[in-house]
Amino acid sequence: MLESGVLVLNRVYQPVHVTSVRRAICLLYQGVAKAIDEQFQLFDFESWSDLAAAANHDVIHIPRVIVLLAYEHLPKARVRFSRFNIYARDDSTCQYCGRRLPRSELNLDHVLPRSRGGSTTWENVVCSCVACNLRKGGRSPDEAGMRLMRAPSRPRWTPVFRSATRRAFYREWMPFLSMAEAAYWNAELLE
Ligand SMILES: [Zn+2]
C-alpha cells in the first residue's frame, strides 16, 4: 500500500509531481501540505486522522491527492533532461534490440559517441541495454550495423504524469490531471 503514489498539487491546484505515500504523510504531518478528498475539502494532519477515527479505522487513511501550502511553482513546460525522463520516454526499452528491461539493466547510450562530438541531448541519448551498449562501443549505429527503433527526440508530454498514470491511476487524480495538461499546453504556446 505504501508503494502507491500520491498526486502533489501546488498552491493553485496544479499537479507538480507524484510522490510516495510515506512522503505525502510526512508533508501532511509537518503541516506543509493538506490532504484533499473527493469533495475537494482540505484536511490538515489532525483532521485527516480524525476521519480515520470517525470511520473506526485504526490506521490513517491514505490520501490520493495533497496540496502544498506554499509551493507556487508551475509545472515545468520543458521536460527535464534527466536519466529518469529518458527511461520514461523510451519506456525502459533498449532502443537497439527492443527489449524492455528493469532500469538496473539499462544504461544511456550516446547515439553519436561523445568522443566523436556527439552531444548529451534528447536527440542524441537513448536507453540501451548493456549488451547493445558494449556491442556498439565507440561507433555510430551505422558503423556498428545497428538500427535505432526510432529517432530520439525531446518528449512533448510530462513524463512524470505518463509514468504515474501507467503505474497506478486513481480516479481522484482526474480533475487535476486535466488541469495539468491545460497548463502544459498553455505554457508551450506562450514561448
Ligand atoms: Zn539492447
Determine the residue type at 122: W
Query: How much is the average pLDDT of 30-48?
Result: 89
> In a 3-state reduction of DSSP, which class is residue 102?
coil
Please tell me the distance between residue 120's alpha carbon and the centre of ligand 1 in angstroms: 20
Please tell me the distance between residue 157's alpha carbon and the centre of ligand 1 in angstroms: 25
Please tell me the distance between residue 17's alpha carbon and the centre of ligand 1 in angstroms: 30
Please tell me the distance between residue 39's alpha carbon and the centre of ligand 1 in angstroms: 47
Average pLDDT, the chain: 79
pLDDT tens readout for residues 115-134 = 999 998 999 999 999 999 99
Please tell me the distance between residue 141's alpha carbon and the centre of ligand 1 in angstroms: 12
Quick check: 182 pLDDT over 70?
no
Quick check: 76 pLDDT over 80?
no
- The whole-number pLDDT of residue 61 equals 77
In this structure, are residues 7 and 18 in contact, taking their beta carbons and an 8 Å threshold?
A: yes
Quick check: 163 pLDDT over 70?
no
DSSP string, 39-96: T--EE-HHHHHHHHHHTT-SSPPPPSEEEESS--PPPPSSPP--HHHHHHHTTTB-TT
Please tell me the distance between residue 155's alpha carbon and the centre of ligand 1 in angstroms: 21
Please tell me the distance between residue 109's alpha carbon and the centre of ligand 1 in angstroms: 10
- The whole-number pLDDT of residue 94 equals 97
From CA 47, how far away is CA 50, in angstroms rounded?
5
Please tell me the distance between residue 114's alpha carbon and the centre of ligand 1 in angstroms: 19
Please tell me the distance between residue 82's alpha carbon and the centre of ligand 1 in angstroms: 20
Please tell me the distance between residue 89's alpha carbon and the centre of ligand 1 in angstroms: 16
